[in-house]
């Protein structure tokens, strides 16, 4: 059997496939594992109760069950849900949008596949365009998504050192080169893996560049505002006709519903819908029905603000305290955790690569993600690329503490 170029590209041992395989195998094995590696959200009791009640009312009421599972939606996704989302965003932020500016996809991961390949790759003119990541490290899920090779170009961050062993990455606008070879820009906000929150000024700067070069700025708000709002710093959400905002129901507690929500201008939404019709006929209806009432009555904002955000903020503070306790005396740095549910640790001068550290930690029964996978398009940036790890603090506290303690034990002899 021989695979096409597409087949070869999408079946080779991509970074993400290897890691997901590892994580899956570790979870399935009889050995207990301290899972600090995955991207699963926590199962927050209040949210679980709310969603369970919603399932009961779906089963009890009228034709909701049928709407959830008995029909195909249009390729753009449930019109009533899209209307409700547009209404919510209009009310909250005054954005001039309607249901025509909203499309659903099977998780936002599928949205990135479609959007990136709409704007980058081979063009009719013979030109080849790329996606620019203005600040790497960036989300690992982007890196293998292009239908052609050499799909990304990225910009190394500026590093600001802060008190208490914290640091923060910033977009280095002086290094940002945009020309005809760039099809679109993309940032995650807050950023997976670092928990960084691009400032309002950075977003305004990128939006202005996008406008100037007539390319879209894709903002991945899978963890951000308005929901699930896992954000520990005050920033403004931003949208204009040139922005493609990608939201998701996953980190709210519904990753299994595979619901991504794209907010874009009508041309973008029509293009995404056309691709969805070919790829999937219609997006999953489960998330749209599950979340319809929450979006209509504003519970989705209320739960995000008063349950989900404080839940993760408390977990973050506890995890940071453990980091400082167990790593005391070492030359470690921690990215200022401003959102999402990850800590990004930088072991400056680590005597092995973080990939080797990952292997050692795996032997000890703790799973993390080594840094080089996140430097999409910037693999040759130097030592920093191999000195960091990402850990998730979505797991129960005893798992996080034991994991951090073990990482510190393992790292201590490897630091100068």
Site of interaction with ligand PLP (CB under 6 A): 39, 107-109, 139, 141, 188, 192, 220, 222, 248, 250, 255, 260
Choice between 188 and 285, CB closer to ligand PLP: 188
Choice between 222 and 308, CB closer to ligand PLP: 222
Query: How far is the C-alpha of 236 from the C-alpha of 75, rounded, in Å?
Result: 30
Pull the structure tokens for residue 85: 């989302």
Q: Residue 223 Cβ, how far from ligand PLP at the closest point, in Å?
A: 7
Q: Residue 221 Cβ, how far from ligand PLP at the closest point, in Å?
A: 8
Q: Three-state secondary structure along the chain? A: CCCCHHHHHHHCCCHHHHHHHHHHHHHHCCCCCEECCCCCCCCCHHHHHHHHHHHHHHHHCCCHHHHHHCCCCCCCCCHHHHHHHHHHHHHHHCCCCCHHHEEEEECHHHHHHHHHHHHCEECCCCCEEEEEECCCCCCHHHCCCCCCCCCEEECCCEEEEECCCEEEEECCHHHCCCCCCEEEEEEECCCCCCCCCCCHHHHHHHHHHHHHHCCCEEEECCCCCCCCCCECCCCCCCCCCCEEEEEECCCCCCHHHCEEEEECCHHHHHHHHHHHHHHHCCCCCHHHHHHHHHHHHCHHHHHHHHHHHHHHHHHHHHHHHHHHHHCCCCCEEEECCCECCEEEEEECCCCCCHHHHHHHHHHCCEECEEHHHHCCCCCCCCHHHHCEEEEECCCCHHHHHHHHHHHHHHHHHHCC
Choice between 140 and 182, CB closer to ligand PLP: 140
Query: How far is the C-alpha of 249 from the C-alpha of 256, rounded, in Å?
Result: 9
What does residue 55 show for φ and ψ, rounded to 5 degrees? -60, -45
Choice between 76 and 194, CB closer to ligand PLP: 194
Q: Residue 63 Cβ, how far from ligand PLP at the closest point, in Å?
A: 27
Choice between 250 and 354, CB closer to ligand PLP: 250
Choice between 237 and 260, CB closer to ligand PLP: 260
Q: Residue 301 Cβ, how far from ligand PLP at the closest point, in Å?
A: 19
Choice between 121 and 224, CB closer to ligand PLP: 224
Q: Residue 340 Cβ, how far from ligand PLP at the closest point, in Å?
A: 7
Q: Residue 351 Cβ, how far from ligand PLP at the closest point, in Å?
A: 30
Residue entry with tokens 């910009």:
155
As beta bridge partners, residue 184 has 131
- Chain residue at closest Cβ approach to ligand PLP: 107
Q: Residue 224 Cβ, how far from ligand PLP at the closest point, in Å?
A: 9
Choice between 44 and 411, CB closer to ligand PLP: 44
Q: Residue 372 Cβ, how far from ligand PLP at the closest point, in Å?
A: 17
Choice between 89 and 249, CB closer to ligand PLP: 249
Query: How far is the C-alpha of 251 from the C-alpha of 235, rounded, in Å?
Result: 19
Choice between 141 and 157, CB closer to ligand PLP: 141
Q: Residue 251 Cβ, how far from ligand PLP at the closest point, in Å?
A: 7
Q: Residue 43 Cβ, how far from ligand PLP at the closest point, in Å?
A: 15
């Amino acid at each position: 059997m021989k695979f096409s170029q597409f087949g070869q590209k999408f079946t080779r041992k991509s970074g993400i496939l290897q890691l997901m395989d590892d994580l899956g195998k570790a979870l399935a094995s009889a050995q207990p594992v301290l899972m600090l590696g995955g991207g699963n959200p926590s199962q927050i009791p209040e949210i679980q109760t709310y969603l369970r009640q919603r399932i009961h009312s779906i089963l009890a009421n009228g034709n909701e069950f049928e709407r959830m599972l008995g029909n195909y939606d249009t390729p753009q996704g449930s019109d009533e849900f899209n209307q409700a989302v547009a209404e919510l965003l209009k009310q909250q932020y005054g954005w001039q949008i309607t249901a025509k500016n909203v499309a659903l996809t099977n998780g936002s991961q599928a949205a990135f596949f479609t959007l990136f390949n709409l704007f980058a790759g081979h063009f009719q003119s013979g030109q080849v365009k790329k996606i620019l990541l203005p600040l790497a490290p960036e989300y690992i899920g982007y890196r293998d998504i292009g239908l052609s090779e050499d799909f990304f170009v990225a910009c190394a961050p500026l590093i600001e050192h802060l008190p208490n062993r914290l640091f923060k990455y910033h977009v280095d606008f002086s290094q940002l080169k945009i020309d005809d070879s760039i099809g679109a820009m993309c940032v995650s906000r807050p950023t997976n893996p670092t928990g960084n929150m691009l400032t309002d000024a950075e977003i305004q700067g990128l939006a202005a560049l996008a406008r100037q070069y007539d390319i879209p700025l894709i903002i991945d708000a899978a963890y951000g505002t308005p929901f699930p709002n896992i954000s520990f710093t005050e920033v403004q959400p931003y949208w204009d006709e040139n922005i493609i905002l990608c939201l998701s129901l996953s980190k709210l507690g519904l990753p299994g519903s595979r619901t991504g929500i794209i907010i874009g201008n009508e041309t973008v939404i029509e293009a995404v819908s056309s691709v969805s019709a070919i790829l999937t006929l219609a997006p999953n209806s489960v998330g749209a029905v599950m979340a319809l009432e929450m979006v209509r009555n504003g519970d989705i904002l209320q739960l995000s603000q008063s349950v989900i955000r404080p839940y993760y903020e408390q977990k973050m503070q506890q995890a940071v305290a453990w980091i400082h306790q167990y790593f005391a005396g070492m030359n470690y740095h921690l990215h200022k955790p401003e959102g999402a549910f990850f800590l990004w640790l930088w072991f400056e001068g680590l005597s092995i690569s973080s990939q080797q550290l990952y292997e050692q930690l795996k032997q000890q029964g703790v799973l993390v993600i080594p840094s080089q996978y996140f430097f999409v398009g910037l693999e040759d940036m130097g030592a920093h690329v191999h000195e960091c790890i990402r850990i998730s603090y979505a797991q129960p506290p005893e798992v996080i503490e034991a994991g951090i303690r073990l990482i510190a034990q393992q790292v201590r002899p490897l630091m100068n």
